[in-house]
């Protein structure tokens, strides 16, 4: 009797585990389908690609000799066209309702960017103590939601993850991340300068 009960218990546990595994797989596939059909993700990928193009044009222009001013001008025009496209796409992003965790994470990140842009446009002398306090409160709330959503998906483009000023990141960690970013930028600049010298 005791052995039969143990066997039954093991079988029930196995059934439960199988049910949980199948449920998790179904939810994962459902979420992946929602991500793929989310217009917000498609727009975010277009924005990230446009930002990368702008950086590529700027880098290509910097690497050109000074006497190639005509081509430098064409690269600058191309960069500004991509910038205009980026701004227009960011506007479109605000007109699409998020339909997935990934889409929601992207729109929260974009909200933080818009908040910072608005904040930078206000003269410092016009900002009172309570307004600064409200800004910090909004920043904490938005970063909290963003971090939670980012932990649920790995489909958010890297461009929307890189955002300074996260109050939930310890100061020493933020400082270390900043230094690593600065070193990467400095190394890229040195490589560009070396390539420029070698080309001449």
In this model, does residue 29 exceed pLDDT 50? no
Q: Give dist(CA 66, CA 1) in Å, integer.
A: 91
The SS3 of residue 27 is: helix
Q: Calculate what percentage of the chain has a pLDDT beyond 70.
A: 74
Report if pTM > 0.75.
Answer: no
Are 115 and 138 in contact by the 8 Å Cβ rule? The answer is yes
What pLDDT shows up at residue 33?
A: 53
Q: Give dist(CA 111, CA 117) in Å, integer.
A: 10
* pLDDT band at residue 30 under the 50/70/90 scheme: very low
Instruction: Mark out the alpha helices in the chain (DSSP H runs).
Output: 2-37, 39-63, 69-93, 101-121, 129-150, 171-199
CB count in 10 Å sphere of residue 152: 14
């Amino acid at each position: 009797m005791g052995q039969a009960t143990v066997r039954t218990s093991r079988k029930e546990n196995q059934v439960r585990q199988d049910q949980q595994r199948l449920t998790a797989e179904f939810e994962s596939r459902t979420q992946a389908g929602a991500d793929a059909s989310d217009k917000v993700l498609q727009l975010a990928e277009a924005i990230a690609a446009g930002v990368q193009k702008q950086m590529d044009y700027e880098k290509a222009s910097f690497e050109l000799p000074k006497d190639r001013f005509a081509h430098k001008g064409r690269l600058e025009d191309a960069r500004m066209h991509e910038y205009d496209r980026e701004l227009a796409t960011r506007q479109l992003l605000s007109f699409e309702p998020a339909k997935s965790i990934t889409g929601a994470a992207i729109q929260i990140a974009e909200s933080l960017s818009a908040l910072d842009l608005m904040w930078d446009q206000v003269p410092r002398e016009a900002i009172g103590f309570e307004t600064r306090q409200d800004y910090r409160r909004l920043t904490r709330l938005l970063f909290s939601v963003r971090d939670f959503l980012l932990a649920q998906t790995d489909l958010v483009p890297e461009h929307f993850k890189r955002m300074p000023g996260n109050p939930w990141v310890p100061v020493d960690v933020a400082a270390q991340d900043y230094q690593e970013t600065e070193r990467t930028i400095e190394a890229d600049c040195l490589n560009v300068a070396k390539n420029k010298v070698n080309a001449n």
